[in-house]
């Protein structure tokens, strides 16, 4: 805890910190569903502890069963290809550039862009609920008591139905895509497994319950205690392994609908989802393979408890219990719940979806400009290993990124924006022109190195750091008249701006300056010579453009930034130029502080997103205005709402939005541990005695 001069203190009681923020549910609330998971797989439940009433939660926080591997494509008889949606542009860089675009005019190009955006899409792997009867409604449940024990990863649910008491405990295995549950009820209600067909819609629970004829579920193996179901959807297939303790009967109630009914008052079962037949369940020493049981509920509970204890004790912790400021208790709740949610939803082998593994948004695909918001906190909070688990994906999609750069006439690799596990670029008239996802790989690799400085980290990431920077250099345009480098022909993070006219957006300029310097540092760490051309780019990048009032513009061409509502809506990306990034030679501190004040007083906050609040907080902290830093995190706006389960609510489409949670944790790390050279303890919190924030294990930001 030497960062920023923090003095020694008594160790934080990690278990007390976590458990006092365990969410509690006492009535049906479609926005209060709870989840268990492990980063590769997540399972979200209703008040029964399973997924008994998925239809009632479909417009809230849906009851998802999603994994990193579970994807599907609709048939493609017309053989739509990526080339069908390429469109040529000339942004004055001396060569034509081909971008993957959405087409609005009827015809093959429109049909192709629609198909390529929708496919592949993430699957809902199956609903696992209590078999209470077709006429039972969630309102029929009485005496609801539900809690999530984040220290152990266990959801405990109690309720009464028809004078019968039910008790359900639900856990997720830490290394398998598997849930286990124990149900106690004298009605012997049992469990149902229902399987939907995907909808292919932009944002929904991915459950089409009207298309049973389009997919099949068959029992391919069973014995007295286990069964394996094979799911087939067009050319996609996967398996669901079910194992139970005691006597129970598995039967098919309807197409794609199975029921497990126990003979005793208690049913314990495990349900695993897998992309390949679960061969580990077979005994090879018999003439005919015999299915083995999955880990039991007790075994899974113990494994879950050990996993979560390690997570909470190995990582950093921030304790607000000694704070007397209004909002401190709520801020602690958000911080603890955000760690849990991001660990189960946004810490897997692929970059995260904006709605994690809860339900589909943008067809279940992930956005690479958001990976920093989902995952930068991991390295700052002592979980760099989870960040590295995701960064490995970049290596697998490098050929695709290299081809994007090549067809547009650039060097190196151009990382895609909206994509899928194979790295395919979803056509878009906005996303294809974004560039701020490009430096993220360099920034995140640097965070990993700072967490674990070693030759191994350099060997692991340096090649892609250099290839990423090679694109960044070739993308910049040298203006001989102005003797400077420009960034143009792009849509910036503030997406209300246009590619054809935007020149020198401030956040992207600052990010180019920072990331190219880091890439040079990595060359030196690897024993390479500095690239002199890159040094020239760093020295001659255009400074941020400003107006006569000393306010930084949304871009150099946006001279009406503070008069046109188009420029004062969406993300206030200008603040990202300092905060996310350190101060640099392109920026005047007094002008940036002026800009912060104007944004604070005048911005169209109703058009912001969840990560805009931590971005504002980080800027305010670096500008020496901790009151605004805290105020931004606690600002009472719709898109800064945190639900009882910790999810960051945006609107009716995005009822959970994990970049907001991740941004919160990154901002808190900076506000506590500071940044390189800040020299102050808790620089993001007011020094009025009301914010006695204690923390341990955090890393400072660059």
Entry pTM: 0.96
Nearest Cα neighbor of 226 from 203, 210, 204, 242 is 242
Peptide bond into 183 cis (omega under 30): no
Query: Tokens representing 92?
Result: 């004055």
619-644 pLDDT, tens digit per residue, is: 999 999 999 999 999 999 999 999 99
The mean pLDDT value for 135-161 works out to 98
What's the mean pLDDT when you consider all of the chain?
Answer: 96
pLDDT digit string, tens, across residues 298-313: 999 999 999 999 999 9
Q: Three-state DSSP class for 218? A: strand
Residue 283 confidence class, pLDDT cut points 50, 70, 90: low
**The pLDDT value given to residue 143:** 98
Domain boundaries, the chain: 31-72+124-310, 82-118
The predicted pLDDT at position 291 comes to 67
- How does pLDDT run across 329-384, given as a tens digit for each residue? 999 999 999 999 999 999 999 999 999 999 999 999 999 999 999 999 999 999 99
278's tokens: 């679960």
Write out the two tokens for 170. Answer: 């639900």
Answer left, alpha or beta for residue 241, where phi above 0 means left and psi between -120 and 50 means alpha.
Answer: beta
For the residues of 358-401, what is the DSSP string, one character each? TSBSGGG-EEGGGHHHHHHHHHHTT-HHHHHHHHHHHHHTHHHH
Q: Which tens digit of pLDDT belongs to each residue from 547-588?
A: 999 999 999 999 999 999 989 999 999 999 999 999 999 999
Residues 293/297/300/306 CA torsion (nearest 10 deg): -150
pLDDT of residue 613: 98
Sorting pLDDT into bands at 50, 70 and 90, what band is 289? low
The predicted pLDDT at position 279 comes to 67
Q: Which residue has the tokens 């929708």?
A: 118
List, for residues 385-420, the tens digit of each pLDDT value. 999 999 999 999 999 999 999 999 999 999 999 999
* Rounded distance between C-alpha atoms, residue 489 and residue 475, angstroms: 9
Both tokens of 148, joined, read 């999530």
**d(Cα 147, Cα 372) in Å, to the nearest integer?**
31
Instruction: Count CA atoms within 13 Å of residue 184 on its CB side.
Output: 7
Which fold would CATH assign to domain 31-72+124-310? Beta-galactosidase; Chain A, domain 5 (2.70.98)
Q: Check pLDDT > 90 for residue 284.
A: no
Taking only the tens place, the pLDDT of each residue in 72-108 is 999 999 999 999 999 999 999 999 999 999 999 999 9
pLDDT of 676-686, one tens digit each?
Answer: 999 999 999 99
pLDDT, average across residues 65-70: 98
The end-to-end CA distance of the chain, in Å, is 16
Q: How many CB atoms lie within 10 A of CB 179?
A: 27
Q: What is the dihedral of CA 173, 176, 178, 180, to 10 degrees?
A: -30
Q: How far apart are the C-alpha atoms of 678 and 701, rounded to whole Å?
A: 10
Give dist(CA 484, CA 470) in Å, integer.
18
pLDDT of residue 1: 40
Q: Is the pLDDT of residue 63 over 80?
A: yes
Q: Is the pLDDT of residue 226 over 50?
A: yes
Task: Give the model confidence (pLDDT) of 433-458 as tens digits.
Answer: 999 999 999 999 999 999 999 999 99
Q: Residue 600 CA to chain centroid, in angstroms?
A: 27
Residue 388: predicted pLDDT = 98
């Amino acid at each position: 805890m030497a960062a920023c001069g923090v003095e020694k203190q008594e160790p934080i009681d990690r278990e007390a910190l976590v458990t006092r923020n365990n969410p509690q549910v006492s009535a049906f609330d479609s926005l209060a569903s709870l989840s268990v998971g492990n980063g590769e797989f997540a399972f979200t439940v209703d008040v029964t502890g399973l997924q008994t009433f998925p239809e009632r939660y479909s417009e809230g926080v849906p009851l998802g069963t999603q994994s990193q591997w579970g994807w599907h494509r609709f048939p493609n008889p017309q053989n739509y290809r990526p080339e069908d949606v390429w469109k040529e542009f000339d942004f004055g860089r001396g060569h034509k550039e081909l971008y993957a675009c959405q087409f609005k005019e009827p015809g093959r190009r429109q049909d192709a862009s629609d198909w390529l955006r929708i496919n592949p899409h993430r699957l809902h792997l199956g609903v696992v609920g209590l078999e209470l009867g077709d006429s039972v409604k969630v309102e029929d449940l009485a005496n609801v008591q539900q809690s999530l024990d984040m220290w152990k990863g266990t959801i405990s649910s109690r309720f009464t139905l028809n004078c019968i008491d039910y008790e359900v405990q639900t856990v997720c295995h830490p290394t398998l895509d598997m849930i286990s549950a124990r149900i106690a009820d004298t009605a012997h209600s049992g469990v149902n497994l229902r399987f939907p067909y995907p909808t292919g819609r932009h944002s929904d629970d991915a459950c089409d319950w009207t298309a049973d004829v389009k997919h099949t579920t068959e029992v391919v193996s069973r014995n007295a205690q286990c069964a394996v179901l094979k799911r087939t959807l067009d050319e996609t297939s996967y398996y669901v392994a079910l194992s139970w303790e005691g006597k129970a009967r598995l039967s098919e109630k309807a197409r794609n609908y199975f029921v497990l009914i126990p003979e005793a008052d208690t049913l314990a079962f495990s349900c695993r989802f897998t992309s390949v037949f679960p061969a580990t369940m077979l005994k090879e020493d018999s003439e005919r393979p015999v299915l083995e049981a999955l880990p039991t509920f007790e075994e899974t509970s113990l494994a879950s408890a050990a996993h979560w204890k390690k997570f909470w004790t190995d990582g950093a912790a921030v304790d607000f219990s000694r704070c007397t400021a209004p909002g401190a208790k709520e801020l602690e709740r958000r911080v603890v719940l955000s760690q849990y949610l991001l660990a189960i939803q946004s810490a897997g082998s692929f970059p995260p979806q904006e709605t994690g593994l809860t339900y589909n948004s943008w067809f279940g695909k992930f956005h690479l400009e958001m990976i920093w918001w989902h995952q930068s906190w991991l390295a700052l909070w002592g979980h760099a290993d989870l960040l590295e688990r995701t960064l490995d994906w970049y290596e697998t999609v490098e050929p695709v990124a290299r081809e994007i750069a090549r067809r547009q006439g650039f060097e190196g690799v151009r990382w895609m924006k909206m994509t899928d596990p194979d790295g395919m670029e979803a056509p878009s008239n906005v996303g294809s022109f974004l560039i701020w996802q490009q430096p993220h790989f360099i920034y995140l690799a640097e965070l990993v190195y700072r967490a674990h400085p070693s030759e191994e980290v350099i060997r692991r990431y340096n090649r892609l750091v250099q290839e990423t920077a090679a694109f960044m250099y070739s993308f910049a345009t040298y203006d001989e008249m102005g003797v400077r480098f420009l960034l143009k022909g792009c849509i910036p993070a503030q997406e209300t701006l246009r590619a054809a006219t935007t020149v020198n957006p401030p956040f992207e300029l600052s990010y180019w300056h920072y990331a190219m310097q880091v890439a040079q540092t990595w060359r030196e760490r690897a024993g390479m010579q500095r690239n002199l051309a890159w040094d020239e780019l760093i020295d001659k990048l255009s400074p941020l453009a400003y107006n006569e009032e000393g306010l930084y513009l949304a871009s150099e061409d946006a001279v009406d930034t503070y008069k046109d509502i188009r420029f004062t809506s969406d993300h206030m990306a200008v603040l990202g130029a300092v905060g996310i990034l350190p101060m640099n030679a392109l920026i005047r501190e007094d002008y940036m502080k002026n800009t912060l004040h104007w944004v604070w007083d005048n911005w169209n906050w109703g058009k912001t997103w969840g990560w805009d609040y931590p971005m504002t907080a980080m800027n305010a902290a670096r500008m020496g205005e901790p009151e605004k830093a805290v105020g931004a995190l606690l600002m009472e706006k719709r898109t800064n709402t945190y639900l009882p389960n910790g999810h960051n609510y945006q609107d009716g489409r995005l009822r959970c939005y994990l970049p907001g949670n991740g941004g919160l944790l990154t901002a808190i790390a900076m506000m506590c541990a500071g940044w390189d050279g800040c020299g102050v303890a808790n620089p993001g919190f007011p020094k009025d005695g009301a914010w006695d924030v204690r923390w341990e294990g955090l890393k400072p930001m660059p």
